[in-house]
Amino acid sequence: MAFELREECGIFGVFGHPESSKLTYLGLHALQHRGQESAGIASSDGECIFFHKEMGLVADIFDEETLEKLPGHLAIGHVRYSTTGTSELKNAQPIVVDFEQGSLAVAHNGNLVNAHVLRRELEREGSIFQSSMDTEVIVHLIARSKEELLENRIVDALEKVKGAYSLIFLTSDRMIGVRDPHGFRPLVLGKVKNGWVLSSESCALDLIEGELVREVDPGEMVIIDERGVTSVRPFLPAPQRFCIFEFVYFSRPDSIFMGTSVYNIRKEMGRQLAREQGVDADIVIPVPDSGLPAALGYSEESGIPFMMGLIRNHYVGRTFIEPQQSIRHFGVKLKLNAIRDVIQGKRVIVIDDSIVRGTTGRKIIKMIRAAGAKEVHFRISSPPTEYPCYYGIDTPIRRDLIAATHSIEEINRYLTSDTLGYLSVRGLHRCCPGQGADIYCDACFTGKYPVTFDFAEQEQLHLFRSQPSVKIKTR
Ligand code: AMP
**Which residue lies with its CA nearest to atom 11 of ligand 1?**
354
User: 395: CA distance to ligand 1 center in Å?
Assistant: 8
pLDDT of 439 over the 80 cut = yes
Q: Which of 310, 360, 389, 401 to mutate to test the pocket of ligand 1 (most atoms within 8 A of CB)?
A: 360
Distances (CA, A) of 132 to 11, 86, 393, 470: 19, 8, 17, 11
Would residue 98 count as lying in a domain?
A: yes
What's the rounded mean pLDDT across residues 372-383? 98
Residue partners of 264: CB distance under 8 A and separation at least 6: 293
Same domain, 181 and 296: no
Overall domain count for the chain: 2
Same domain, 39 and 156: yes
Q: Which of 292, 320, 393, 414 to mutate to test the pocket of ligand 1 (most atoms within 8 A of CB)?
A: 320
Separation of CA 58 from chain center: 16
Ligand 1, CB within 6 Å, residue ranges: 249, 287, 290, 318, 320, 352-361, 393-395
Would residue 470 count as lying in a domain?
A: no
pLDDT in the model for residue 4:
36
- Sorting pLDDT into bands at 50, 70 and 90, what band is 330? low
User: 155: CA distance to ligand 1 center in Å?
Assistant: 35
Q: Which CATH number belongs to the domain containing residue 100 in this structure?
A: 3.60.20.10
**Which residue lies with its CA nearest to atom 18 of ligand 1?**
394
pLDDT of 367 over the 70 cut = yes
Question: Please, what's the b/e burial string for 171-210 (b: 16 or more CB within 10 A of its CB; e: otherwise)?
Answer: bbbbbbbbbbbbbbbbbbbbebeebbbbbbbbbbbbebeb
- Sorting pLDDT into bands at 50, 70 and 90, what band is 470? very low
Same domain, 287 and 421: yes
- Which tops the pLDDT comparison, 459 or 443? 443
* Closest-CA residue to 339 (of 387, 298, 378, 373): 373
pLDDT of 328 over the 90 cut = no
Same domain, 79 and 183: yes
pLDDT of 323 over the 60 cut = no
pLDDT of 3 over the 60 cut = no
Would residue 353 count as lying in a domain?
A: yes
User: 287: CA distance to ligand 1 center in Å?
Assistant: 11
Would residue 390 count as lying in a domain?
A: yes
pLDDT of 282 over the 70 cut = yes
Separation CA 49–CA 107 (nearest Å): 14
Separation CA 68–CA 430 (nearest Å): 48
Say if residue 374 is exposed, middle or buried (CB neighbours under 10 Å; 0-12, 13-18, 19+): middle
**Which residue lies with its CA nearest to atom 22 of ligand 1?**
320
Counting from 1 in the atom list of ligand 1, the atom nearest the Cα of 321 is: 21
Same domain, 212 and 304: no
- For 464, what's the count of Cα atoms within 13 Å in the CB-facing half-sphere? 14
- Sorting pLDDT into bands at 50, 70 and 90, what band is 463? low
Counting from 1 in the atom list of ligand 1, the atom nearest the Cα of 357 is: 3
User: 386: CA distance to ligand 1 center in Å?
Assistant: 13
Which conformational region is residue 359 in: left (phi greater than 0), alpha (psi within -120 to 50 degrees), or beta? alpha
User: 355: CA distance to ligand 1 center in Å?
Assistant: 6
pLDDT in the model for residue 362:
95
Would residue 162 count as lying in a domain?
A: yes
Same domain, 229 and 366: no
User: 328: CA distance to ligand 1 center in Å?
Assistant: 11
Counting from 1 in the atom list of ligand 1, the atom nearest the Cα of 395 is: 19
Q: Which CATH number belongs to the domain containing residue 401 in this structure?
A: 3.40.50.2020
Separation CA 301–CA 434 (nearest Å): 21
Same domain, 297 and 157: no
Separation CA 246–CA 46 (nearest Å): 35
DSSP string, 145-204: ---SSHHHHHHHHHTT--B--EEEEE-SS-EEEEE-TT--S--EEEEETTEEEEESSTHH
What's the rounded mean pLDDT across residues 24-46? 96
Same domain, 298 and 235: no
List, by residue number, the catalytic residues.
9
Q: Which of 109, 319, 354 to mutate to test the pocket of ligand 1 (most atoms within 8 A of CB)?
A: 354
At 339 the three-state DSSP class reads coil
What's the rounded mean pLDDT across residues 445-463? 79
Would residue 472 count as lying in a domain?
A: no
Of 198, 213, 241, which residue sits at a domain end? 241
User: 419: CA distance to ligand 1 center in Å?
Assistant: 20
Q: Which residues pair with 104 in a beta bridge?
A: 97
Q: Domain of residue 353: give its range.
A: 261-312+325-436
Separation of CA 340 from chain center: 34
pLDDT of 303 over the 90 cut = yes
Would residue 27 count as lying in a domain?
A: yes
Same domain, 131 and 267: no
- For 433, what's the count of Cα atoms within 13 Å in the CB-facing half-sphere? 15
Q: pLDDT tens digit string along 178-191?
A: 999 999 999 999 99
Q: CA end-to-end span of the chain, whole Å? A: 20
Counting from 1 in the atom list of ligand 1, the atom nearest the Cα of 402 is: 4
**Which residue lies with its CA nearest to atom 15 of ligand 1?**
354
Would residue 448 count as lying in a domain?
A: no
Same domain, 89 and 232: yes
* Torsion angle, alpha carbons of 30, 335, 377, 430, to 10: 10
Same domain, 71 and 140: yes
Counting from 1 in the atom list of ligand 1, the atom nearest the Cα of 360 is: 2
Same domain, 225 and 275: no
Q: pLDDT tens digit string along 78-125?
A: 999 854 335 688 889 999 999 999 999 999 999 999 999 999 999 999
